[in-house]
Every structure is written in structure tokens, then in C-alpha cells.
Amino acid sequence: MEALGNLIGGFGVALTVPNLVFMLVGLLLGVLIGVLPGLGGANGVAILLPLTFSMNPTSAIIMLSCIYWGALFGGAITSILFNIPGEPWSVATTFDGHPMAQQGKAAQALAAAFTSSFVGALFAVLLITFTAPLLASFALRFGPAEFFAVQLLTFCSFVGMSREPAAKTICAMMFGFALAAVGMDSVTGQLRMTYGFPPLLKGFDFLIAVIGLFGIGEILLTMEEGLAFKGKSAKISPRVVFQTWAEIARYWKTFIRSTAIGCWMGITPGGATPASFMGYGMARRFAKDPHSFGKGNIEGVIAPETAAHAAGTAALLPMLTLGIPGSPTAAVLLGGLLIWGLQPGPMLFIEQKDFVWGLIASMYLGNLVGLIVVLTTVPWWAAILRIPFSVIAPVIIVICAIGAYTVHSSMFDVVMMMVFGVLGYLFKKLRYPLAPLVLALVLGDMAEASFRQAMLLSQGSLAIFWSNPLVGSLVALALALLLWPLWGALKSRVRARELGAAAP
């Protein structure tokens, strides 16, 4: 009941006229970011984050989170109409969404995608509403050892649950740790890896890195591939919407299954992209006609969109309660909170109650308004994609440069943005994941501080990480996830050897 009372108070914060305006602006910008293949949710939030420094933190986080919701919605438009994933998590939507569009069912596919996204996010927000206060109150018992164990679990989760090879994930993460270590040591005051270069005294700003890695890197790769927009047109009418709702209601099991997958992948943190593929795979496995998948089955649209939106929303739960982001976009939002002087974690629910519950209330409103916006404005976004990419790409690069410059009003940051852009391009070409790098860059200092505090408390003994059942279980789970790819590789090798021995 206390959560409901706090939520009502949060609606009082979110329903003020300025916050509603920021919510609508954020949603429109987010859909635009989701539609344009050269941008993404994390990069869009990173680019616009410097513009919110002068705003009230509550209004700023509402606007930025709504950019995220809009990007989640917008990615489905290009996937279905143009067979171009606007976001990485929209790849699975193209499998059945675009075939439906080619069959003249683009409106049905879009209505199903938007509704599925709304349902997945709604259940994830309900999860946040009723479990975040409990998790936050439980986290008040955490000390430095427990916080480091949670951070270790986060890093190991990326290794154990990533679709990329574990070696590449670890290399990307190690590079992020190295970047996080540049600058002044907060404990000893000594300089690390600055090499006598004054601009590096403050270290690498995660915002500059994210803008370059995601924005410029994606643009360079897209320009190399010579992207061209050719797709179907669509206009959604109320009749089509109600007919689609009646049809997709039959797939309530798929909704439940995909929501559970998405919430789990958002919290652990697996992310929206693997959640969408996992949701699609599970739907196909349990379908009565699995052979129809890939040929225009509406269930193949429902499953990935529900899972992706649930994962994207649930990723904010560990970010708010523990200060551990469950996705790259949540990592950017975490950096924004730190810039505004707000420390994510259990004390946030006590010291900044209006902020937290205003944000949670805006999640309900943002997803509802976002559903209405995308259902009524699809032709506008489809028309934008008919602009040549040779025009869109320079505009995006200029926006990225402005966003990088406004962080510290320094041209050095713009140069570093381009350097990180080239690095992001190389990472994508070599198929190295960027999310672990960003996570390590954001959490590297926090994890180091927690570890060093734990070592000071234990006088240098690692036994502190097994000193009680809570921290011991977290560390054990982290190590199990870290070694999981090794166990899988070992099983595959043994199976291959057995098959080789059985062959004549």
C-alpha cells in the first residue's frame, strides 16, 4: 500500500504541465532517433543529456527516459516497413514484420508491434513499482564488499550471457577499465596514464565516449555499407487497430513468456537485443506452426517486441536501487544522475522520493502516450526515411559534435569524440561488443572504490568476499557466470570427440 501511495504522489509530480511537455518532446525525439538507423537509444540520450544540465533533474530524467521509450517504439517502424532495423533489438522484428508488410499487412504488423511494446513495458514498470522499494530497503544492508560483489556480478553477467565470444567481451571490458583509470586517483591523488597531457587530468568523460562509439561509429559503418531506404507505406486506422488487438489477444501465453524473458534479461543484465532474439526463439519453439515463422507470422512480431520493451524498461530497476545499469542506455542515465548530484542506490528512495516516484509515474504515462503517438503518426516517420541518407548522415554528425562540445565547452572533446567514433567503427567491424566497454567505463571507478574500501576494512584479506552468506553467494554466482562459457566450450569439445569416436 505504501508503494501505491508513493506512486500517486509521483503522478502528482509527473502530471505538471512542464513535465508533460518534456515527456511529449522526449517521445517525439525518441521515435525519430529510433527510426534513423544511424542513431540509437543510448546515443540519443547521450547527445541530448548536456542540454538538460540547466533543467530540474526530475524534468530532465523524465525527458531522457521518454527519449528511450520513443526509441524502443521507433525501431519497429523501419524494421517492418523498410527491413532496416532502427535499433539492434529490432533485428528479430524484421523476420516476420517485413514479410507481413510485403503481403499488404503493414498496418497490422505495426499495430501488433506497438501494442506488444506497450504491454511488455507496462509489466516491467509494475515490477519496478512493487519491487524497487523492497530491493532498495534490502540494499541498505550493503557494505563495500556487497556493492563490489554486485558490480562483479554485473560484469560477469555480460561475459556469461553475451551472444558474443567471451574473449571479445572480456577484451572490450578490460579496455573500458583502462579508460576509466585515466586521470587522477580519487584515493591517493596521484595521476594515472596522463603522460603529461593536461586535458587527460580529468580522465575520459563517458558521454564523449558514448557519443563517439555509438553515434559516429554507427554512421561510419552505415556510410561504408551504402544504406538506401526502400520500403512500404502504411497508415493505421482505428478499425485496423481494434481488429489487431482482437487477433493478438489469442497469444496471451506469448505475451507472458516474452515479458518474463524481457524482465529477467533487463535485470541480469542481458539487454534488450538478446531478449528480443530469445523471445522470438521461444515463441517459435512453442508455436503450433513453427514453419510459418519468417513468412509473416504475427506472433513473430509480438514476441521480440514484448521482450525488448520489457528488458529495456526493467534495466532501470537495478540502476535506481543499486546503481548498477542493466543496459547501455541505463548506464548513460546513471551518468546523468551522477552529474546532477544524485547518487543512485537505496538512499535515493529516501532522500529523493519525489524524484524517484515522479520518474516511475512518468514510465506509465510515457508508454501510454508513446503508444498513442506512434499509432497516429506512422506516415510522418516513414516519410522521413525517404530523405537520402547522404543528407541525414552529416546532420547526425553535426548533432553529435554539438552534444560533445557542450559537455565541457571544449574542442578537445570533439576531437576525442571522433577518435572514439573510429574506435567504435573498428569494434563493429571486428565484431567486438560495445556495451561491456561502456559499462566498464561508467562503473570502473565505482567498482575500484568499493574494492579498495573492502580491502581497507579487511586489512587486505580477500576473505571479506566470503564473510557472510549474501556477499559469498553473489561472488559465487559471479564466478559461475564468468566460467559458464568455458564450461559450454568444454561440453562441446567432449561431444565432438564422442561423435568422432562413434563415426566409422
pLDDT of residue 467: 82
pLDDT of residue 25: 87
Grid coordinates representing 167? 574473449
pLDDT range class, residue 37, cuts 50, 70, 90:
low
- Which region, left, alpha or beta, applies to residue 60 given φ > 0 means left and ψ of -120 to 50 means alpha? alpha
Grid coordinates representing 153? 556480478
pLDDT of residue 389: 67
Grid coordinates representing 369? 502516450
Q: What angle do CA 409, 411, 413 make, to 5 degrees?
A: 80
- Which region, left, alpha or beta, applies to residue 183 given φ > 0 means left and ψ of -120 to 50 means alpha? left
The radius of gyration of the chain from alpha carbons, rounded to an integer in Å, stands at 23
Output DSSP code: residue 63: H
pLDDT of residue 140: 67
Question: pLDDT, tens digit, for every residue of 265-289?
Answer: 777 655 676 778 778 878 887 888 8
Name residue 408's amino acid: H
Of the listed ranges 159-173, 202-216, 230-244, the least confidently predicted one is: 230-244
pLDDT of residue 8: 82
Grid coordinates representing 121? 513495458
Of the listed ranges 190-204, 232-246, 445-459, the least confidently predicted one is: 232-246
- Which region, left, alpha or beta, applies to residue 143 given φ > 0 means left and ψ of -120 to 50 means alpha? beta
C-alpha count within 13 angstroms, C-beta hemisphere, residue 240? 16
Percentages helix, strand, coil for the chain (3-state, rounded to 5) are 80, 0, 20
Mean pLDDT, rounded, for 236-259: 83
pLDDT of residue 254: 87
56, 60, 62, 64: CA torsion to nearest 10: 180
**Distance (Å, rounded) from C-alpha 318 to C-alpha 441?**
18
